[in-house]
Amino acid sequence: MDPSATLTTASAQWASWWPWLLIAALGLFHGINPAMGWLFAVALGLHRHKRSVVMLSLLPIALGHALAVAVFVAVALWLGSVIDTRVFARAGGLVLIGWAAWHVWRGHRGRPRVGMQAGMAGLACWSFLMAGVHGAGLMLVPVLMPLCASPLSGQISRGSAVAPAVLALGLHTGAMLVAICAVALLVYDRIGVAFLRTGWINLDLVWSAALVLCGVALLLR
C-alpha cells in the first residue's frame, strides 16, 4: 500500500474525528471542574446525610449546564449563518479572549449562590447561570464551526447545522455527566472535600487560559 495514501487516509479520518473528541474532552473537563456542580452535589449529600441526594443533584446540574450551552450554541449558529465566516471567527476570537479576561478579573465575585435547601429546579437554574458565567458554551463554538460549515462555501447553514449541533450538545452533556458523577461519588464515598484545600489545582485559571487559546486560534483561522 502506498504510504502517502495511508497517511492521507489517516489524516482525513483524524480531521473528521477530532472535533467530536474535543467536544467530549470539554465535557469531561467541565465535569471535573468543581465550579460546575459536583462540589455542590457532594455538599448537599453531606448536609442531608444521603448518598442518593448526591446522585439526584447531578441530573438538574447537568440539565442546567446543557441548557446554558444550548443557548450559546443557538446564538452562535444564528450569527454564523448571517455573518461572513471570517468576520464571525474574528469576532468570536475577541469575545473568547475578552470573556477570559473578565473571568480572571471578576474571579468568584458576583457568582450565583444557592443554599442547602435548594430543590431540583433551583439546582438547574444555578447550574444554568454558572455555566453561562463561565462561558461554557463559548468554548464549543470554535469546535462546532468546522462541523456546521458547508464544505463548499465554508458558510454556516442553519438547516444543515442543527443535526451536528444537537449531536455535539448530547455528546458534551453525556461526557460531562459521566465525569461529574464519577468525581462526586469518589469524593463523597472515599476522599472527602478536605483535599481541595491542598491537593487541587485552580481549574478556573486553566479554563481562562483555554478560552484565550481558543480565541487566538479563531483570530488566526
Helix axes 85-106, 203-219, angle to 10 degrees: 160
Mean pLDDT in residue range 95-109: 75
Give the model's pLDDT for residue 112.
55
What is the residue range of 138's domain?
A: 21-219
Give the model's pLDDT for residue 6.
45
Residue 129 domain-assigned (yes or no): yes
Mean pLDDT in residue range 35-62: 85
Mean pLDDT in residue range 151-170: 73
Residue 1 domain-assigned (yes or no): no
Residue 6 domain-assigned (yes or no): no
- In the structure grid, which three cell numbers stand for residue 195, read together? 483535599
Work out the percent of the chain whose per-residue pLDDT is above 70: 76
Give the pLDDT band (50/70/90) at residue 153: low
Q: How many domains does the chain have?
A: 1
Tell me the DSSP string of the chain.
--HHHHHHHHHHHHHHHHHHHHHHHHHHHHHH-GGGTHHHHHHHHHHHT-HHHHHHHHHHHHHHHHHHHHHHHHHHHHHHHHS-HHHHHHHHHHHHHHHHHHHHHHTTTT-----TT--HHHHHHHHHHHHHHHTTTTTHHHHHHHHHB-TTT--B-HHHHHHHHHHHHHHHHHHHHHHHHHHHHHIIIII-SGGGGTS---HHHHHHHHHHHHHHHHHT-
Mean pLDDT in residue range 160-179: 88
CB neighbours (10 Å) of residue 42? 24
Q: In this structure, what are the phi and psi dihedrals at residue 186, rounded to the nearest 5 degrees? A: -65, -45
Residue 172 domain-assigned (yes or no): yes
* Mean pLDDT taken over the chain: 77
Q: Are 112 and 126 in contact (CB under 8 A)?
A: yes
Q: What is the pLDDT of residues 63-75, one digit of tens each?
A: 999 999 999 888 8
Whole-number Å distance between alpha carbons of 39 and 59:
14
Give the model's pLDDT for residue 181.
92
Residue 7 domain-assigned (yes or no): no
pTM for the complete prediction? 0.78
Whole-number Å distance between alpha carbons of 136 and 37:
13
pLDDT at 81 over 60: yes
Give the pLDDT band (50/70/90) at residue 14: very low
pLDDT at 49 over 70: yes
Residue 85 domain-assigned (yes or no): yes
pLDDT at 146 over 50: yes
Mean pLDDT in residue range 169-198: 84
pLDDT at 25 over 60: yes
Residue 185 domain-assigned (yes or no): yes
Residue 201 domain-assigned (yes or no): yes
Q: What is the pLDDT of residues 105-126, one digit of tens each?
A: 765 555 555 555 567 778 888 8
Mean pLDDT in residue range 132-149: 78
- In the structure grid, which three cell numbers stand for residue 56, read together? 439526584
Mean pLDDT in residue range 44-54: 84
